[in-house]
Amino acid sequence: MIVKSLGVFIAMALLSTAAHATVRSEYVDYKSADGTLMQGYLSYDDATTAPRPAILIVPDWMGMATPFARQKGTILADQGYVTFVADIYGKDVRPKDTDEAAKQAGYYKANRPILRERVGAAYDTLTRMPRVNADKVVVMGYCFGGTTALELARSGVPLKGTVSFHGGLSSPTPEDAQRIRGPVLAMHGADDPNVPPKEVEAFKQEMANAKVDMRFIAYPGAVHAFTNPAAGSDNSKGAAYNADADHKSWAEFENFLKQVMG
């Protein structure tokens, strides 16, 4: 009897292991409205083909040149979301260093309609995927990606929520905040010299004027890029990793997802 029970247990364990899903990741080519070839990064758990909630991830100013955003995508895919890392610059544009990244990001920040079009193309690509429940999409981004996530929200697409990690908060058209659908979570380094108090206050006023459900969290002692270990540890440089802010902001993000995805 014991042997038989043990055999059944082993068989069930093997079946469970065989059925265990894995995260699949792949590059996906798509085009922007002006015909520019883009290349995003898709991740999903292959446990089911049924439509599921999705997260559009916008990288920092290095774009697709570094693995940071792609790694976040696989982590979230393991939690059951379909994730897609957006390409803003184009398939053949991969900054080699921060100087090149600054030029690319600066161009799009100065041309918000083009920035919205580029992130909008990624959003459209994601929501057309059969694995995605287009009614349950959150956009999130880091640094330049946070700026971009907010621009997508200001464009009025139907999002369940918008999340910015140490992103730029300025807007040349603050009245567009009236188009934002879903709550906004903005997480900020309290000592970030790249997003000064004046910009923070203008953003808060923008959200208040538009009656956006917005939560703003400032982490003491944190500067720009506080979630990225590659930023180093020297706050005097204006960008540095902060483990406490990183862990707390990720916990806030996961809680936000549970609330808005339903």
Condensed to tens digits (0 to 9), the pLDDT of residues 177-186 reads: 999 999 999 9
Give the chain's residues under pLDDT 70.
1-20
Q: Cα–Cα distance between 156 and 179 in angstroms, integer?
A: 5
Strands, sheet with 161-165, edge to edge from the N-terminal-most edge strand: 23-31, 37-45, 82-85, 52-58, 132-142, 161-165, 184-189, 214-219
pLDDT at 5: 42
**Integer Cα distance of 201 and 186 in angstroms:** 13
CA dihedral 119, 62, 239, 245 (to 10 degrees): 60
What pLDDT is attached to residue 1?
A: 42
Dist CA 116 CA 154 (whole Å): 9
Decide the pairing of beta strands 23-31 and 37-45. antiparallel
Mind listing the pLDDT tens digit for each residue in 223-253? 999 999 999 999 999 999 999 999 999 999 9
Q: Record the pTM.
A: 0.92
- CATH number for the domain running over 23-261: 3.40.50.1820
